[in-house]
Amino acid sequence: MSILKISRLGHPILRRVAAPLTADVLASADLQRLIDDMVATMVDEEGIGLAAPQVHASVRLVVLGDPDADAEDSDSLPLTVLANPIWRFRSAETDEAWEGCLSLPGLRGWVPRSLRVVVGGIDRTGRAVEITAQGYLARVLQHEIDHLDGVLYPDRMTDLTRLTFLDEYRRYWQPDPDGDDDGDED
């Protein structure tokens, strides 16, 4: 497996609509190697998700989750490979939370997302899958699938005053582990 170079904000591939994958291409050794390399890259970069355009491949493919997660643990996100995702449902009810992105290193933004989603697609073996998700998993799916449509999280933000560098996020915005969430220093 190889660690792939991450495309960063400003690279045109991040603004293109990615091409769907055919069953033959998905089954190919090259595409299976891309999936393995994407997982290795995501883990190496300490990300929770990665879309193919982020590694300079304009195809409709995302990987997300933790390869070492316990599938029985309801709080974990097991490794998921999803090709050709199609939205079946996105709730009108939304929530805002902080997001980061490997293609926008060192930044965080306050992003609204649907609380519940259902997405269809195919897994790495070509089998049809449907994922019903809420909360964090729903957010991760929306973030990664946005990449396939040339959308980055700042495009979803409603208040750009809450786009911040990571150091400032940690200093002023990150919730205090002691429960003092006012952002002030003690």
Tell me which residues are annotated as active site. 144
State whether residue 13 is helix, strand or coil.
helix
Q: Which segments within 17-99 are labelled E, that is strand?
A: 49-51, 61-64, 80-90, 94-99
Long-range contacts of 133-140 (CB under 8 A, 24+ apart): 136/77, 137/77, 138/113, 138/114, 139/97, 139/99, 139/111, 139/113, 140/48, 140/49, 140/64, 140/77
